[in-house]
Every structure is written in structure tokens, then in C-alpha cells.
Amino acid sequence: MAKAATAPARTYPSSVGVPENNRQALISLLNLRLADSVDIHSQVKWAHWNVKGKDFYQLHLLFDSIATHLEDHVDTIAERVAALGGTANGTIRESAAKSSIPEADLNAADGPAMVKFLVHNVGHYTNALRTAVKEAEGLDDAVTVDLFTSITREMDKDLWFLEAHIQA
């Protein structure tokens, strides 16, 4: 799944009440999920721009709604990194290098093909967040647990909206 950080993250002093010995691991965890968030956001926007077919308009709007949620998640995760005294690693190149999300199906063009790959990749993203909840619990940071829980809750709903398009 996620690629482990190889070097300690640069940190700054922070008075946030998180045990100092856990901050580095939390910053790394948050940055991995930040990379995933930037990546899946770009994939959903790609689908939004390129979807074709009879359900074009409703999917165009759905994909844009999901992309808006993801943009908020990117910002929330990056700001939590900074609040912990870390550096948010969220450039496109950093995200591409660290993301655990599978590549988009760049051959998809019609609605069903777009929805199919998005269900797979958004599901992967949501399950990575669910795992991050458990990892943050082990690092004694209830605020980061809550952040990942609330993002997971919203992504579960977005995933449901996507899956409803391919279920009988």
C-alpha cells in the first residue's frame, strides 16, 4: 500500500499537545494520506473533464462534487501536518512519488468506464484512510483520529454515490 518515509520529516516547534515522540510518525502518516488525497483528487477531476455518454451531465456534476470534497481533504490534512510542526509534502511530484492509489484508467471515456475505475480507486483511498484511523489511534492523537474518521465518513458516502451507478 503506502510507501514508507525514508528520512525524518523536517519539523518546527509546536505547542500542540501530542507526545513529541509520536509527532514524526503522525507527520509521516498524514503526508502519505496527503499524497493519496492529491492523487485521487486529480483522478476525479480528470474524470470530470473527460466523461462522455448519456449520463454525462449527472456524472460531470457528481465527479465535481467529489473533487470538491477531496480538495477540502487535501487542505485539512496539510494543515494538520503544519499544526503538528511538520512540512506538508503536497506538490504534484511529491504526491505522485508517494501515492498508494492505482493509476486512473486513462482509456476510460464513457460514464460506466469512468465510474468503474473511480469506484476501485476511491475505494482504495477510503480504505487507506480507514487504516490511518487505526494507525493514528496507536500514536495517541485523538485529533488526527477524528480528522481521518470524518474524512473516511465523507468518502464512504461519495463511494456509495459512485457504486450506486453500477449496481443493479
Q: What is the pLDDT of residues 10-39, one digit of tens each?
A: 777 777 878 888 999 999 999 999 999 999
What is the average pLDDT value for the chain, to the nearest integer?
Answer: 93
Does 10 reside within a domain?
A: no
Does 114 reside within a domain?
A: yes
Does 14 reside within a domain?
A: no
Domain count, the chain: 1
Does 37 reside within a domain?
A: yes
Q: Say whether 86 sits in a helix, a strand or coil.
A: strand
List the CATH number of the domain containing 150: 1.20.1260.10
Task: Please check the confidence at residue 5 and state whether its pLDDT lies above 50.
Answer: no
Confidence bin at 7 (pLDDT 50/70/90): low
Contact of 123 with 100, CB cutoff 8 Å: no
Contact of 40 with 162, CB cutoff 8 Å: no
| Rounded Cα distance, 126 and 16, in Å | 27
Question: Can you give the pLDDT at residue 1?
Answer: 46
Question: Can you give the pLDDT at residue 52?
Answer: 95
Does 11 reside within a domain?
A: no
12: Cα within 13 Å, side-chain hemisphere? 8
Does 148 reside within a domain?
A: yes
124-156 tens-digit pLDDT: 999 999 999 999 999 999 999 999 999 999 999
Biggest CA–CA distance in the chain, Å, is 54
Does 59 reside within a domain?
A: yes
Confidence bin at 98 (pLDDT 50/70/90): very high
Q: Say whether 59 sits in a helix, a strand or coil.
A: helix
- Residues in Cβ contact with 111 at an 8 Å cutoff, skipping those fewer than 6 apart: 51, 52, 53, 54, 55, 56, 59, 165
Does 122 reside within a domain?
A: yes
Question: Can you give the pLDDT at residue 9?
Answer: 59
Kindly report the pTM of this predicted structure.
0.92
Domain that holds residue 112: 20-163
Task: Please check the confidence at residue 121 and state whether its pLDDT lies above 70.
Answer: yes
Of the candidates 73, 86, 76, which has an alpha carbon nearest to the alpha carbon of residue 40?
Answer: 73
Confidence bin at 102 (pLDDT 50/70/90): very high
| Rounded Cα distance, 40 and 1, in Å | 14
